Amino acid sequence: MTATLELTDLSRSKRLHVDLGLALTEQHTVAHAIEHFRSELDIPEHGLRWMAFARGRRLDGKTPLRDVSVEDSTWTVMPAGAAGATNPSRPAPAARR
């Protein structure tokens, strides 16, 4: 479990340090922390799903913060589309043979 989280946006121009026990507690989830980050920095949702990555791995939004390891306490927060999600209006590329 970690006592402090550091959340940044993809460009690293926006940063938020969160001490657990104040705005967020161990019972809150990764999704709650992402929402807190967006709310504190006035980042609009734009109808997108938002996610967090730590050490190159996507964090499960349902994970309680008490289960986030100290090694995973620095996050990059971004909308799902910025993480390489495909555009549903464009067909997927054909598989190579």
- Classified as helix, coil or strand, 70 is helix
Instruction: Report if residue 66 sits inside a domain.
Output: yes
Report the pLDDT averaged over residues 78-89. 61
Asked whether residue 92 is assigned to any structural domain, the reply reads no
Asked whether residue 26 is domain-assigned, the answer is yes
Residue 16 included in any domain: yes
Model-level pTM? Answer: 0.78
Kind and range of the H or E run holding 51: strand 50-54
- For residue 86, pLDDT over 50 is answered with no
Per-residue pLDDT reduced to its tens digit, 12-59: 889 999 999 888 999 999 999 999 999 999 998 888 899 999 999 999
Is residue 55 included in any domain, yes or no? yes
Residue 57's pLDDT is 95
pLDDT at 83: 52
Q: Give the residue among 60, 49, 55, 33 at the shortest CA–CA distance from 82.
A: 49
Whether 95 maps to a domain, the answer reads no
Host domain of residue 64: 4-83
Q: Please give the full DSSP string across 72-85, using - where no structure is assigned.
A: G-EEEEEEGGGGTP
Distance separating the N- and C-terminal Cα atoms of the chain: 46
Looking at the structure of the chain, the number of domains it has is: 1
Q: Is residue 79 part of a domain?
A: yes
For residues 52 and 77, the answer to whether their CB atoms sit within 8 Å is yes
